[in-house]
Chains A and B, each alone.
Chain A
Amino acid sequence: MHELAIATEIAGAVCAKAAGRPVRRVTVRVGALTAVVPEAMRFCFTLAVEGTVADGADLEIEHRPGAGHCGSCGNDVILPDLILLCPCGSADVTVTSGRELQIVSMEVD
């Protein structure tokens, strides 16, 4: 359940930045290739912000698909999972998107 640790990090960063102002909404970016389950993170976020200035804030999740670049054929490939295999048969694939795990912004009153 690493989502709780992640949600706690988000809550801590957001509350520090809010400096006492109530937080209405927090936007995070989560790549498809991270080991983060959005539903679990949403649940944990609700717990992590309880009793803070972000209590009750909405968590908006921007999803980023997995994508890579093949060093053999030069094509960009869609990566539905962490199996780094290009349709051309090469495993020389560099991940270009999908590993994001970022706090984007927040809305405060």
Chain B
Amino acid sequence: MCGTCGCDDKPEVITLERKVLAHNDETARANRERLAARGVLAVNLMSSPGSGKTTLLERTIRDLGPDRPVAVVEGDQQTPLDAERIRRTGCPVVQINTGAGCHLDAEMLGAALDRLAPAAGSLLFVENVGNLICPALFDLGERDRVVILSVTEGADKPLKYPHAFAVAGLVVINKVDLLPYVEFDVAECRRHVSAVNPRAAVVEVSATRGDNLPAWYDWLHQLRAGSAGRDHTS
């Protein structure tokens, strides 16, 4: 305030010094606690559209479903199509349509958990919106994040979209059954993953043909046992 006439001439500076995504991070923490209390292992799946996320999930549910409860949250901008595919496997599923939104956030997952109420001890897959940029910034409360990349995409994708790969505990290279028909250098792709995230594990699978899927299932088992992946608390 001005000392001469008392007018409000000078603005007051208020310090905030808080993370922009503090609210999302707090909600994610609440989700994480809620999931842990029920012994639910949540995995956040991120990829470009068309990498085979839903096909990998259908196969995973068929293979693991008989031994443990599996539940799915499907994120897409529009349509319940993916949820319908998952529902046909007999697995409980909730579809979130983000409309104009390009990613899921912690609040959306919290609301989906209210509706889904995953069984105690279940494996929860959260299929994020097909997009390798925006989902990387938003912690949902998952135990770990997985990026799925298919061999019909470029082997240089980890360098082009480093943020998603940098926060992943596992990179799944999918559609390896198509390797004879496409120019995709798996070794080069692995090098690029290491360049942006030396800690990430990498598995090569074909979700349609079933190649090497036990490596994916092993990673999930290890994650539950606490010997793979990492928490995302920031």
A and B: interacting chains: yes
Chain A interface (Cβ < 8 Å from any Cβ of B):
1-2, 5-6, 9-10, 12-14, 17-18, 24-25, 28, 34-36, 81-85, 91-92, 101-109
Instruction: Name the residue on B nearest A103 (C-beta).
Output: B16
Q: In the complex, what distance in Å separates the CA atom of A5 from the CA atom of B131?
A: 15
Q: Does B223 contact A (CB under 8 A)?
A: no
In the complex, how many angstroms separate the beta carbon of A96 from the nearest chain B beta carbon?
Answer: 14
Further pairs besides A83-B162, A104-B16: 17, Cβ < 8 Å:
A1-B134, A2-B102, A2-B137, A6-B137, A9-B24, A12-B23, A13-B16, A13-B22, A14-B16, A28-B20, A83-B159, A92-B198, A101-B20, A103-B18, A103-B19, A103-B20, A105-B17
- Distance from A31 Cβ to chain B, minimum over Cβ atoms (Å): 11
A contact residues around B101 at 8 Å (CB): 5
Interface membership of B187, Cβ < 8 A: no
Residues of A near B103 (CB, < 8 A) are 2, 5
| Chain B nearest Cβ from A15, distance in angstroms | 12
- Give the distance to chain B from A83, nearest Cβ to Cβ, in Å: 5
Residue total for B at the interface (Cβ-Cβ under 8 A):
33
Shortest distance from the beta carbon of B104 to any chain A beta carbon, whole Å = 11
Expressed in whole angstroms, the Cα–Cα distance for A6 and B12 within the complex equals: 24
Q: How far is the CB of A26 from chain B (nearest CB, A)?
A: 9
| Given contact pairs A82-B163, A83-B159, A109-B8, A101 touches B195 in the complex (Cβ within 8 A) | no
Closest 5 CB pairs of A and B: A82-B162, A2-B134, A107-B11, A35-B163, A103-B16
- A103 contacts which chain B residues (CB < 8 A)? 16-20
Partner of B23, one of A9, A92, A106: A9
B13 touching A107, Cβ below 8 Å: yes
**C-alpha spacing A91/B158, complex, angstroms:** 15
Majority secondary structure of chain B interface residues (helix, strand, loop or mixed) = mixed
A sample of 10 cross-chain residue pairs with beta-carbon separation below 8 angstroms, ordered by A number, consists of A2-B137, A5-B103, A82-B166, A84-B195, A102-B17, A103-B17, A103-B18, A105-B15, A106-B13, A107-B13
Residue of B nearest to A14 (CB): B16
User: Nearest CB to that of A36 among chain B residues?
Assistant: B137
Verify A5–B105 contact, CB threshold 8 A.
yes
Query: Contact residues of B with A, CB < 8 Å?
Result: 8, 11-24, 101-103, 105, 133-134, 136-138, 159, 162-163, 166, 194-198
Contacts of B20 in A (CB 8 A): 6, 9-10, 13, 28, 101-103
A20 to B148, CA, bound (A): 46
Cα–Cα, bound, A81→B158 (Å): 12
Q: Which of A24, A92, A101 is in CB contact (< 8 Å) with B11?
A: A24
CA distance A102 to B22 in the complex (A): 9
Q: List chain B residues, Cβ under 8 A from A1.
A: 102, 134
Contact B159 A17 (CB under 8 A): no
- Interchain CB contact under 8 A, A84 and B198: yes
With contacts A9-B21, A102-B17 known, is A84 near B196, CB below 8 A?
yes
Cβ-defined contact, B194 with A104, below 8 A: no
Chain B residues, CB < 8 A from A107: 11-14
